[in-house]
Structure 1
Amino acid sequence: MLTDIYIENYTVVDRLHLNLDSGFSVLSGETGAGKSIIVDAISLALGARLDTKIIRKQESRCTVTLCFDVSTIPLAREWLEQHGFDDHQECIISRVHQSDHRSKITINGKPCPSTLLRELAPLLLIIHGQHQSQTLLQREQQQTYVDSYGKHHHLLQLLQHNYAEWRKNQTEREHLKFQTEQRDEQLNLLNYQWQELEALNLQPNEWQELHEEHQQLHHAKQLIYNLNQAIDVTIENEKTSTTHLLQYAIDQLQLSHKNNPQLKSIIELLNTAAIHVQEAADELIHYRDALDLSPERLHYIEQRLTQIHDLARKHHVGPEELPDVIQSLQHRIEQLNSSEERMMALEKQSQQLLSFYQHTANKLSQSRRRTATEINKKITHYMQNLGMHGGEFEIKFDPHAELITAYGFEKISFLVKTNPGQPLLPLAKVVSGGELSRISLALQTIISEKENIPTFIFDEVDVGIGGQTAEIVGKLLQSLGKQAQVLCITHLPQVAAQGHHHFKVNKFSTKNSTTTTIEPLTREQRVHEIARMLSGSKITPQTLQHAEALLT
Structure 2
Amino acid sequence: MLSHLHISNFAIVRALEIDWAAGMSTITGETGAGKSIAIDALALCLGERADANVVRPGAEKADVVATFDISKLATAKDWLQQQDLLMGNECIVRRVVSAEGRSRGYINGVQVPAQQLKQLGQYLLAIHGQHAHQLLQKAEYQRQLLDAYTAQPELLQQTKQSYRYWQQLQKEYLELQQSQQQRDAQRQLLEYQVAELDQFAPQVDEFQQLEIEHSRLSHGNTLLTQSQACLLQLYDGDDHTIYRALSQVSQQLEQLVCLDPALKEVQQMLNDALMQTEEASRELRRYADKVELDPERLQWIDERLGLWLNLARKHQVSFEELPNLHAQLAQQLAQLTDSDSRLNELQLAITQAEKAYQIAATKLTDARKEAAIELSSLIAHNMHELSMANARFAINVQSQALAFANAHGLDLVSFEVSTNPGQPLQALSKVASGGELSRISLAIQVILADKITTPTLIFDEVDVGISGPVAAGVGRLLRQLGQSTQIICVTHLPQVASQGHQQLFVEKYTDGQATETRMRQLQDEERIQEIARLLAGENISANALANARELLCSPIV
Indicate the TM-score class for this superposition, using the shorter chain for normalisation: 0.7 to 0.9
1:181, CA displacement in angstroms?
A: 5.5
Partner secondary structure for residue 450 of structure 1 = helix
Matches within 5 A, 1:271-282: none
**1:393-416 deviations in whole A, cap 9, x for unaligned?**
221223213233221121212222
**1:465-520 deviations in whole A, cap 9, x for unaligned?**
11111010000110111121110000100000100111111111112221111111
1:381, CA displacement in angstroms?
A: 1.6
Q: Which has the larger radius of gyration?
A: 2
1:102, CA displacement in angstroms?
A: 1.4
Partner secondary structure for residue 421 of structure 2 = coil
Structure 1 pair 43–185 and aligned structure 2 pair: CA distance change class (3 A): same
1:527, CA displacement in angstroms?
A: 0.9
1:102 is matched with: 102
1:354, CA displacement in angstroms?
A: 2.6
Structure 1 residue 373 corresponds to structure 2 residue 373: yes
Separation in 1, partners of 2:322, 2:433? 72
Report if the CA contact (8 A) 2:397-2:412 is conserved: yes
- The answer to which of 416-425 and 392-401 deviates more is 416-425
**1:296-330 deviations in whole A, cap 9, x for unaligned?**
xxxx99998897577358xxxx9998766644432
What is the letter of the counterpart of residue 530 of structure 2? E
**Where does the alignment leave 5 or more consecutive residues of structure 1 unmatched?**
211-299
Separation in 1, partners of 2:123, 2:101? 28
Structure 1 pair 170–467 and aligned structure 2 pair: CA distance change class (3 A): same
Partner secondary structure for residue 28 of structure 1 = strand
1:330 is matched with: 330
Separation in 2, partners of 1:156, 1:66? 33
Structure 1 pair 302–181 and aligned structure 2 pair: CA distance change class (3 A): closer
Partner secondary structure for residue 397 of structure 2 = strand
Separation in 2, partners of 1:473, 1:413? 24
Partner secondary structure for residue 59 of structure 1 = coil
Partner secondary structure for residue 452 of structure 2 = coil
Structure 1 pair 303–402 and aligned structure 2 pair: CA distance change class (3 A): closer
Structure 1 residue 550 corresponds to structure 2 residue 556: no
Separation in 2, partners of 1:25, 1:321? 81
Partner secondary structure for residue 54 of structure 2 = coil
Separation in 1, partners of 2:486, 2:30? 24
Report if the CA contact (8 A) 2:365-2:397 is conserved: no
1:142, CA displacement in angstroms?
A: 1.2
Separation in 2, partners of 1:149, 1:138? 17
Report if the CA contact (8 A) 1:504-1:519 is conserved: yes
Structure 1 residue 467 corresponds to structure 2 residue 468: yes
Structure 1 pair 177–21 and aligned structure 2 pair: CA distance change class (3 A): same
Separation in 1, partners of 2:370, 2:382? 19
Structure 1 pair 340–56 and aligned structure 2 pair: CA distance change class (3 A): closer
Separation in 1, partners of 2:205, 2:523? 92
Structure 1 pair 138–549 and aligned structure 2 pair: CA distance change class (3 A): same
Structure 1 residue 409 corresponds to structure 2 residue 410: yes
Of 305, 311, 315, which residue of structure 2 is paired with 1:311?
Answer: 315
Matches within 5 A, 1:377-392: 377-392=377-392
Structure 1 pair 201–99 and aligned structure 2 pair: CA distance change class (3 A): farther
2:531 is matched with: 530
Structure 1 pair 324–12 and aligned structure 2 pair: CA distance change class (3 A): farther
Report if the CA contact (8 A) 1:312-1:319 is conserved: no
What is the letter of the counterpart of residue 87 of structure 1? M
1:182, CA displacement in angstroms?
A: 5.3
1:188, CA displacement in angstroms?
A: 0.5
Matches within 5 A, 1:153-172: 153-172=153-172
What is the letter of the counterpart of residue 42 of structure 1? L
1:191 is matched with: 191
Structure 1 pair 320–437 and aligned structure 2 pair: CA distance change class (3 A): farther
Structure 1 residue 29 corresponds to structure 2 residue 29: yes
Report if the CA contact (8 A) 1:448-1:483 is conserved: no
Report if the CA contact (8 A) 1:180-1:336 is conserved: no
Separation in 1, partners of 2:434, 2:321? 69
What is the letter of the counterpart of residue 494 of structure 1? Q
Separation in 1, partners of 2:91, 2:322? 60
1:6 is matched with: 6
Separation in 1, partners of 2:134, 2:87? 36
1:133 is matched with: 133
Partner secondary structure for residue 141 of structure 1 = helix
Structure 1 pair 45–205 and aligned structure 2 pair: CA distance change class (3 A): farther
TM-score using structure 2 length:
0.76
2:455 is matched with: 454
1:279 is matched with: none
Separation in 2, partners of 1:389, 1:326? 84
Report if the CA contact (8 A) 1:127-1:456 is conserved: yes
Partner secondary structure for residue 397 of structure 1 = strand
1:442, CA displacement in angstroms?
A: 1.2
Separation in 1, partners of 2:481, 2:325? 69
What is the letter of the counterpart of residue 186 of structure 2? Q
**1:421-475 deviations in whole A, cap 9, x for unaligned?**
4443332333333322222221122112322211111111111111111010000
Separation in 2, partners of 1:302, 1:43? 80
1:117 is matched with: 117
Separation in 2, partners of 1:520, 1:327? 83
Report if the CA contact (8 A) 1:401-1:410 is conserved: no
2:215 is matched with: none
Separation in 2, partners of 1:328, 1:136? 60
1:231 is matched with: none
Structure 1 pair 137–196 and aligned structure 2 pair: CA distance change class (3 A): farther
1:76, CA displacement in angstroms?
A: 1.7
1:511 is matched with: 512
- The answer to which of 82-91 and 339-348 deviates more is 339-348
- The answer to which of 153-162 and 339-348 deviates more is 339-348
In angstroms, what is the RMSD of aligned CA positions?
Answer: 3.1
TM-score using structure 1 length:
0.76
Separation in 2, partners of 1:324, 1:119? 53
Structure 1 pair 484–310 and aligned structure 2 pair: CA distance change class (3 A): farther
Separation in 2, partners of 1:109, 1:197? 69
Partner secondary structure for residue 52 of structure 2 = coil
Percent identity for Structure 1 against Structure 2: 40
**1:353-381 deviations in whole A, cap 9, x for unaligned?**
33322222211111111111111111112
Separation in 2, partners of 1:322, 1:64? 71
- The answer to which of 463-472 and 71-80 deviates more is 71-80
2:435 is matched with: 434
Report if the CA contact (8 A) 1:390-1:419 is conserved: yes
1:531, CA displacement in angstroms?
A: 0.8
Report if the CA contact (8 A) 1:389-1:420 is conserved: no
**Where does the alignment leave 5 or more consecutive residues of structure 2 unmatched?**
210-303
2:71 is matched with: 71
Structure 1 pair 380–321 and aligned structure 2 pair: CA distance change class (3 A): farther
Structure 1 pair 97–139 and aligned structure 2 pair: CA distance change class (3 A): same
